[in-house]
Amino acid sequence: MAVAPTEISRLALDAARSAATEAGQMAMGYFRRGGRTSADIQYKDGGSPVTEADLAVDAYLRRTLMAAAPEFGWLSEETLDDARRLDREVVWVVDPIDGTRAFARGDTDWTVAIGIVVRGVAVAGFVFAPVSGDLYEALPGAPSFLNGKPIRASGQDGIAGARIAGPGPILDAMQGERLPFQRMPRIHSLAYRFVRVAEGAIDGGLASGSAHDWDLAAAHAILTGAGGVIRTVGGETPVYNRASTVHEPMVAAGPGLAPSLSDILAQVGPARTRGHKEAIAGL
């Protein structure tokens, strides 16, 4: 959809880009590669962790981004939800640390994700992987970039040979059906998994049925700018900034692969993820 220049200022976009990298460096102060984070860890209802680093980064991002665009709404995993966001045309959608479990135990595949949603559509996004220093970005109506270089989703158009990453139980089920895909190593941050599709490093990414807006919006904008798509098991495009932030199982891929991958997920996903802890974690 077209986005008027007045809706997203250059100031807001520049602030988001800068804030993503600064927030990542802030989180790195608590990170211990291969070991438990130095940050205090608490647990939310349902058992998902939140660390001192998540909260510090969230506070920094809210302060910085809302100063740049105070007219935007705000939605973050680590901020108490405010229903007033539903009345805003434009909303910041933020995950201070996407992949908190990985971050907390010293794995490297976690990210900072900042998305901008206009009337339910993810139109801009910044996903920063602090350990590698990689910054993925998409501006409204523009191609997507990785560290300043254009990226493109792969042209893979069938499951045979497709490089797929996703929750273990779903991939187990796909292998049980003897589908001829390549199983890729686990990518714990869902935003990271989907931007890896955007850069063509993998052909498809899967998400089980409890991902939230903050897991998806930034990566969705980047995937769109790279010629890829996100589709639900029903073949629909996710809509953001609704009363409920939870989404059904979905796939990220190029337009040639997405329909068949969505059909496969619809067949094998629900039975394998229902009640599984990875589904609860939104992975």
Which of 247, 254, 192 has its CA nearest to residue 229? 254
Q: Does residue 231 lie within any of the structural domains?
A: yes
pTM to 2 decimal places = 0.93
Q: Identify residue 127 by its one-letter amino acid code.
A: V
DSSP category for residue 85: G
Distance of CA 103 to the CA centre of its chain: 15
Adjacent-strand bridge partners of 112: 128
Give the residue from 92, 118, 148 where a domain finishes: 148
Whether residue 113 is found in the same domain as residue 224 = no
Q: What's the mean pLDDT when you consider all of the chain? A: 93
Give the residue from 104, 123, 148 where a domain finishes: 148
Whether residue 116 is found in the same domain as residue 168 = no
CATH number at residue 237: 3.40.190.80
Largest CA distance in the chain: 52
Adjacent-strand bridge partners of 91: 73, 117
Work out how many domains the chain is built from and give that number: 2
The predicted model gives 173-195 an average pLDDT of 97
88-144 pLDDT, tens per residue?
A: 999 999 999 999 999 999 999 999 999 999 999 999 999 999 999 999 999 999 999
The alpha carbon torsion through 83, 110, 158, 246 (nearest 10 deg) reads -20
Got the DSSP string for 268-281?
A: HHHHHHTT-HHHHT
Q: Does residue 157 lie within any of the structural domains?
A: no
Which of 62, 258, 252 has its CA nearest to residue 159? 258
> d(Cα 92, Cα 10) in Å, to the nearest integer?
15
Whether residue 16 is found in the same domain as residue 142 = yes
Residue 209 has a pLDDT of 86
Residue 7 has a pLDDT of 64
> d(Cα 95, Cα 54) in Å, to the nearest integer?
9
Q: pLDDT class for 67, splitting at 50, 70, 90?
A: very high
Counting residues of the chain whose pLDDT is more than 70, the rounded percentage is 92
Residue 46 has a pLDDT of 80
Q: Does residue 156 lie within any of the structural domains?
A: no
What is the domain range of residue 128? 10-148
The predicted model gives 51-69 an average pLDDT of 98
Whether residue 30 is found in the same domain as residue 97 = yes
